[in-house]
Amino acid sequence: MNDDITILVHGFNRGRRDMAYLEAGLRRQGWHTRALNLPTLFGDMDDCVAAMSAQLNDIQGRYRRVHYVAHSLGGLITLNFIRETQPQNIGHCVFIATPHGGSHLAQIASWIPGYARIFKPVAELLPTGAYDNCHAESGLSLGVIVGCRNSGLLGKLFLSDQSDGRVEVASACAGAARETILLPFGHQEIHHRPETCAQVLAFLAQGRFSR
């Protein structure tokens, strides 16, 4: 673990503090970590990837392996970062509640005049399915954690019970993931739960979840 580092990537309209719970859990187990701060409210995907590259520029060649743990939109940003920079020392990746097939809530938001133009990351969250099989192309060792508790008013109004209140279960389940596990939490809480942290630690260490 001393030769590895884990990069934590937050989701839409959040910052590095949103990954603090997972970061603290990893550090207690001896993992080196770095939580990023990306422009996920007004910046487009290119802006987010550029910010990620700039914040990781100094770790090149310093670690044997670089792992990635991302929540929601952070998983899509991580995929684009890997595509564009093609790092050679990728370890394991864990994506939590990432909408690989898009989000119907994002689609509804995009119908509001001007919304997607102002909040540019919404374009990446539309239900196109563009990210579903890209893990196979890149050969990632990917574990996907999916929330399956529909919580919150928006989820109750617009999504089925097969969702986490923001992202549908089917969208979060990437077809090319090495392993997928469902946890009974909502989108906003799943990455702040000890059960999730335990599964992240298991996958980072062994390349598989704890059953």
- Token digits of residue 2: 């001393």
What is 162-176 written as a DSSP string?
SB-SSSBHHHHS-TT
Q: Topology of domain 4-206, per CATH?
A: Rossmann fold (3.40.50)
On whether the CB atoms of residues 177 and 210 are closer than 8 A, the answer is no
In this predicted structure, the answer to whether residue 21 has a pLDDT above a threshold of 60 is yes
pLDDT in tens, 150-191: 987 776 777 788 899 888 999 998 777 899 999 999 999 999
Alpha-helical runs (H) found in the chain = 20-28, 45-56, 73-85, 104-110, 115-118, 134-138, 153-158, 169-172, 194-206
pLDDT in tens, 36-47: 999 999 999 999
Q: How many C-alpha atoms does 133 have within 13 Å on its Cβ side?
A: 0
**pLDDT at residue 174, rounded to an integer:** 76
Q: Roughly what angle, to the nearest 10 degrees, separates helices 73-85 and 45-56?
A: 70
**pLDDT at residue 112, rounded to an integer:** 77
pLDDT bucket at 204, cuts 50 / 70 / 90: very high
In this predicted structure, the answer to whether residue 95 has a pLDDT above a threshold of 70 is yes
In this predicted structure, the answer to whether residue 76 has a pLDDT above a threshold of 70 is yes
